[in-house]
Structure 1
Amino acid sequence: MAAAAVEKIKSEMSNAGLSSGAIDGILKIAATYKPKEGEKPDMAQAMVTLGKLFAELETFIKTQPESDQTIYHNIIEKKKSELAALIKK
């Protein structure tokens, strides 16, 4: 992830109240799914990768305090709504 994008995401999660430990864990997992330099997965590959990413994030977040779990799920629902609104345009 580009540094600016990571900082924006980190800031959004922090502002939502997610703990620094949960944020660090999420970012560490996300970094492992970053495409290699020059790699451009096709749509099918990208969807499989996203599915794996979210499954791993869900497994991780279940190890965190209940408050972090609630905040994380609220963030995900908000992002889903934002994406749905973009698609409708």
Structure 2
Amino acid sequence: MASAVVEKIKSELSAAGLSSGAIDGILKIAATYKPKDGEKPDMAEAMVVLGKLFAELETFIKTQSDSDQTIYHAIIEKKKAELAALIKK
């Protein structure tokens, strides 16, 4: 991931109250799903990859504290609402 994007995500997760261990784990998992340089998946491929990413994140977050799990799920719900608002435009 580009370092500016990673820092922004890390900052958002930290501001939401997620522990540094949970943040590091999330970023490590997300980095494995980064497209290779020059690779641009089509929409169908991207949706499959996103599904796998979120499934792996969900498995990981279940290993974290109850507090981190609650915060993570709140973040995901907020992002879903933001995406839904964008789609409606």
TM-score of the pair, normalised by structure 2? 0.98
Separation in 2, partners of 1:3, 1:85: 27
Structure 1 outlier segments of 4+, above 6 Å = none
CA deviation profile, 1:2-59 (whole Å, cap 9, x unmatched): 1111111100000000000000000000000000010011111100000000000000
2:44 maps to a residue whose letter is A
Structure 1: tracts of 5 or more residues without a match: none
| Structure 2 unmatched ranges of 5 or more | none
2:11 is paired with a residue whose SS is: helix
Report the TM-score, using the length of structure 1 for normalisation: 0.98
Aligned residues between the structures: 89
CA RMSD of aligned residues (A): 0.5
Question: Percent of pairs identical after alignment?
Answer: 88
Give the CA deviation at 1:66.
Answer: 0.3
Counterpart of 1:39 in structure 2 is 39
